[in-house]
Structure 1
Amino acid sequence: MPAPNSSTWNRRSLLRAALGVTAGGALAACGSNNGRAGGGSGKGLVQYFHAYGEPGTEQAIRRYAKAYQGANVTTQWITGADFESKLFATLLTDNAPDLFEFHPQIQLVKSGQVADLTDIVAPVKDDFNAADIASHTVDGKIYGVRMLDDPQFFFYRKSMLEKAGVGVPQTLDELIEAAAKLTTGKVKGLFLGNDLHAVINPLIWSAGADTLDDNNRIAYHTDGVVEGLKKMRTLFTSGSLLLGAPADYWDPSAISQGLTAIQFCGMWAMPQLQQALGDDLGVFPFPKVTDAGKPSVYNGGWSMFVNAKGKNVDAAKEYVKWLWIDQKRYQEDWALSYGFHIPPRTSIAASAGKLKSGLAAEGVKLFNDFGHFDRIGWTQAMIKATEDVFADCVRKGGDPEAALDRCDKAVNTELKKLFG
């Protein structure tokens, strides 16, 4: 998930706020989208993008659209913290976009808000990362086309670890110990983001658990996760965790400006960090929490969806096929020219020279060895429930079992709505 250009914007807020206007789990019916027609009508399509932080991204998206001959494609480039609220509010109006980027969310499918794209994806399905296909599939139909895969892991300053006599942490206990040894008067040992939400799922995975299982049942309420929550509380109260940084975890400035020795961030920031720190930079996954667990890497990213309730569904699908299926040179440009992202198309990823050596190759290996993808059934309400667990147990010192019991109740309510 490439960094936005607002230091106040929490990257995970989009996923957490998905369908926030529909607490019941379904979007209201969308009206006509202002009579816009596609293709041969001479009118055009409107697409919504959030404002990526890397220079050149807006110009690239507009350049791709201008090159398309099938319709006049207009881009709404939405800055600041308003993307999710504007998108989902606008989907309820006559001015709804024809296509938009977001993350896979099952409510979008069950409400009929997004179009089935199986027909355009199926011919190249085997050239996509299989996990990306799975995370966009409901009842055998594919909704959305992945544009970027964004692994998230820890960056660390090699010189700081060497000076403190600290090795690369292999367990959460070692990470806590390292953070303490790396903390000095001016530098905190570790930065996980200001609200800690970015590491909730990695903690679950590294404890040997999951959010849901393959049958959409709770999989996070385990002894390993309880142990992880207790360890996170120890870390939170240790004084070695950077809190209240000027920008959140998605922005690499905390480590590049010397505020911390280790920062959780994303591969998108790698070129910027290499420019600032040179070779004084390493990466490692979220370490295992328990002996039964193993390291994990969260794969974020963005996907393109077609508004199924608009008037230009066929024209929008044609544009999505042209850009995100047929135009491999644009897909490679989008993934590699404005930050480092892994192309979801395996053929493009395999030929991506920028990812074949050095730190980038290490990041790709972490992604391949330890990567986890969002489950389409893991909804905004469920994400909020786990955030409440962190707020209770990690920040306030509450009992993990009691907090997870409350989380179970909220998640099961959502599961019943969605799956019966």
Structure 2
Amino acid sequence: MLAAGGGLVAGGALAACGSNTGRGGGGSGPEISQWYHQYGEPGTQGAVQRYAAAYKKADVRVQWRPGDYDRQTAAALLTDSGPDVFEVNGPLLEQIQGGQVEDLTAEIESVKNDFNQAVLAPKIWQDKVWGIPQVVDMQMLYYRKSLLKEAGVRPPQTLDELVDTAKKLSSKKTKGLFLGNDGGVGVLSGTPLHAAGLSLIDEDGKVGFDDPAAARALGKIRQLYADKSLLLGAPTDWSDPAAFVQGLTAMQWSGLWALPGIKKALGDDFGVLPFPKDGSGGKPAVPVGAYGSAVSARSKRKADAKAFVKWLWVERRDFQQDFALSYGFHIPARISLAKKAKQLQQGAAADATRFATEYGHAEPLLWTTAARNAYQDALSRIIKDGANPESELKSVVRKVNAELQQVKKKTAK
């Protein structure tokens, strides 16, 4: 969730993956194939088929792709039998540099500034837009108002306060904080770095965490683990609010998608926060992500596919809002639509929408799989094993610098 996929599989493996073909569109024009990953929210598949049927300039055939969608798509883009239009998760660097996707700058240009800029950024390369964000997903900190009041603590506004508050809230029955069953290794990623005023990759395309503040921030995450303030071994992981709702933890890091269930179970006995800032140069941080709609460079109907993408994700504002809020709980990728959505105008939902706009950060375009793996491995050693944050990050900086050099070489070619 909110993380990029990638990799290739053999053609035989792709053929073995099942798919459900949606009914065609209502148009009499050329046939266009459109791929979606398998959403878990009921009604989503029917909705995208309905959108396709409403398009009159082409016969849009929806394919619902269960299984490892990212690997299926990566393999299909190398063949002539792949989709014309498809969803892509996270940064698009590999597809862009591989010449696998079409430039969609002209299609989005008129409304480019209306999109959440944090989720649009990983779709931009060399000032061109290669994918159009569909909806925004985000993560944030949930806290139980009654438990914090009982312990005499306020909602944490800084990372130091988060460490102290989680410790005070921990008891035999309830832990102070749940960051996932691995202690936050899998979900936090670069969020603590952004909270310290840093980033994974800076605006100049260089390593954004070659700074002592990075080690200090990650050291505080380790302190949460060392203090035994973190819930570990919960029945479900961080993306599910069950541990929070059942009172196993007083605070939990989870996604916006969890909000309706929490509201139903707890009423008004909860609040939400961005990840707290760290240090004088820090600021609150909120990870955001978005599947984007892209057009395959191998499509034989590029112009028709581009026209359909523009129609659905730029012109049809009603479908965009329906897709975001009628099947699950997401934020429309368009800022103007998010502001108008009634479901997002009050309480925790309104707070979450504001956090995503003001503090949102997405995984950067240049953050490669190798860079991600190196950082995640170091984060695991820091949090779980108590490894020295400074030395671990120095090693990661070297690896990421090497990755960035490779990216530049591919660009030069």
CA deviations on 1:294-352 (whole Å, 9 max, x unpaired) are 21111222211111123232222122111111111000111122233222223222321
C-alpha spacing 1:53/1:252, structure 2 compared with 1 (3 Å): farther
Q: Is the 8 A contact 1:187 1:259 kept in 2?
A: yes
1:279 aligns with 2:268: yes
- Secondary structure of the residue aligned to 1:188 is coil
Structure 1 residue 145 corresponds to structure 2 residue 132: yes
Partner of 1:385, secondary structure, is: helix
Q: 1:76 to 1:260 in 2, by over 3 A?
A: farther
Q: How does 1:1-400 map to 2 (within 5 A)?
A: 11-12=1-2, 14-15=3-4, 18-21=5-8, 44-79=31-66, 82-101=68-87, 102-195=89-182, 196=184, 197-400=186-389
Shift of 1:155: 0.9
My pick for the range that moved more, 263-272 or 69-78, is: 69-78
Residues 32-59 of structure 1: CA deviation (Å, up to 9, x unaligned):
xxxxx99988663332222223222222
State the Cα deviation string for residues 142-165 of structure 1 (Å, max 9, x = none): 110011122321011112212222
1:416 Cα offset (Å): 0.7
Cα separation, partners in 2 of 1:311 and 1:397, compared to 1, 3 Å = same
Question: SS of 2:318's equivalent?
Answer: helix
| Residue type of the alignment partner of 1:115 | E
State the TM-score, normalized to the length of structure 1: 0.86
C-alpha distance in 2, partners of 1:247/1:316? 40
Deviation per CA, 1:175-233: give whole Å up to 9, x if none: 12222222233322211123422212110011121111111011112111101121111
Residue 127 of structure 1 and its aligned partner are, at CA, apart by 2.8
Comparing 387-396 with 69-78, greater Cα deviation is found at 69-78
Q: Provide the residue aligned with 2:400 in structure 1.
A: 411
Secondary structure of 1:77 counterpart: strand
Aligned partner of residue 260 in structure 1, secondary structure: coil
> How many angstroms apart in 2 are the aligned matches of 1:247 and 1:105?
31
Distance 1:377 1:222 in 2: 19
Q: Deviation per CA, 1:24-79, whole angstroms, max 9, x where unpaired?
A: xxxxxxxxxxxxx9998866333222222322222222221222223333333334
Measured at CA, do residues 39 and 121 of structure 1 come closer, stay the same or move farther in structure 2, by a change above 3 Å? Answer: farther
Indicate the RMSD between aligned Cα atoms, in angstroms: 2.3
User: Are the aligned partners of 1:282 and 1:359 in contact in 2 as well (CA < 8 Å)?
Assistant: yes
Structure 2 unpaired stretches of 5+: 10-23
1:33 corresponds to: none
Question: Quick one: distance in 1 between partners of 2:118 and 2:289?
Answer: 12
Q: Distance in 2 between matches of 1:411 and 1:39?
A: 48
Q: Which moved more, 1:365-374 or 1:226-235?
A: 365-374
Q: Distance in 1 between matches of 2:386 and 2:117?
A: 40
Structure 1's 39 and 120: CA in aligned 2 closer, same or farther, altered over 3 A? farther
The one-letter code sitting in structure 1 at the alignment partner of 2:74 is F
* Matched position secondary structure for 1:173: helix
Moved more, 342-351 or 211-220: 342-351
- Whole-angstrom distance in 1 between the partners of 2:187 and 2:379: 11
Paired with 2:125 and 2:353, the residues of 1 have a C-alpha distance of 28
Q: 1:155–1:265: 8 Å Cα contact kept in structure 2?
A: yes
Amino acid in the other structure paired with 2:69: F
Report the residue type matching 2:158 in the other structure. T
Contact 2:25 2:56 survives alignment (8 Å):
no
Q: Which amino acid aligns with 1:380?
A: T
Q: What count of residue pairs does the alignment treat as equivalent? A: 392
Letter of the 1:95 partner, please give it.
S
Aligned 8 A contact 2:321 2:332 in 1: yes
| CA distance in 1: counterparts of 2:245 and 2:37, whole angstroms | 25
What's the CA shift string for 1:361-411, capped at 9, x where partnerless?
Answer: 111222233222332122222221210111221122212222112211221
- Equivalent residue letter for 2:95: L
Q: Distance in 1 between matches of 2:367 and 2:223?
A: 28
Q: Is the 8 A contact 1:194 1:244 kept in 2?
A: yes
1:272 touches 1:339 (CA, 8 Å); kept in 2? no
Match for 1:283: what amino acid? Answer: V
Q: Which moved more, 1:386-395 or 1:193-202?
A: 193-202
Instruction: Tell me if the contact between 1:105 and 1:378 (Cα under 8 Å) persists in the aligned partners.
Output: no
Aligned 8 A contact 2:114 2:335 in 1: yes
Pair 387,68 (structure 1): closer, same or farther in 2 beyond 3 Å: same
Q: Is the 8 A contact 2:131 2:293 kept in 1?
A: yes
Alpha-carbon separation, structure 2, partners of 1:189 and 1:225: 24
Contact 1:39 1:315 in 2 (8 A): no
Q: Which amino acid aligns with 1:400?
A: P
| 3-state secondary structure, aligned to 1:294 | coil
Q: Which residue in the other structure is 1:6 paired with?
A: none
For 2:129 and 2:233, the matched residues in 1 are separated by: 40
Separation in structure 1 between the aligned mates of residue 25 and residue 263 of structure 2, nearest angstrom: 43
